[in-house]
């Protein structure tokens, strides 16, 4: 079984063309498959993010 791959808000922001603040807000509001790590750091599940982009996340 492979290890989970996580993306930073910066990586997702670069991929989507949004600001990091917007991606962090999406994480906080539950619009992206993410977990909060520590007080401020968000980690986005790469596999779920790819499925969301492909439309399979519905």
* Number of domains the chain contains: 1
pLDDT at 1 over 70: no
Distance from C-alpha of 5 to C-alpha of 18, rounded to nearest angstrom: 21
pLDDT at 57 over 70: no
* Sign of the dihedral defined by the CA atoms of residues 13, 53, 28, 6, in that order: negative
Q: What is the pLDDT of residue 15?
A: 94
For the question of whether the overall pTM of this predicted structure is more than 0.75, the answer is: yes
Considering the domain boundaries, does residue 30 fall inside one? yes
Q: What is the pLDDT of residue 51?
A: 92
We report the CATH number of the domain holding residue 46 as: 1.10.10
Distance from C-alpha of 55 to C-alpha of 48, rounded to nearest angstrom: 11
Q: Within 10 A of 46 (CB to CB), how many other CB atoms are there?
A: 15
Model confidence over 24-50: pLDDT tens digits? 999 999 999 999 989 989 999 999 999
Considering the domain boundaries, does residue 18 fall inside one? yes
Domain hosting residue 34, numbered range:
6-54
Considering the domain boundaries, does residue 42 fall inside one? yes
Considering the domain boundaries, does residue 1 fall inside one? no
């Amino acid at each position: 079984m492979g290890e989970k791959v996580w993306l930073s808000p910066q990586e997702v922001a670069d991929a989507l063309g949004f600001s990091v603040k917007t991606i962090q807000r999406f994480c906080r509001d539950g619009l992206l498959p993410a977990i909060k790590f520590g007080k401020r750091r968000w980690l986005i599940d790469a596999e779920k993010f790819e499925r969301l982009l492909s439309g399979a996340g519905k």
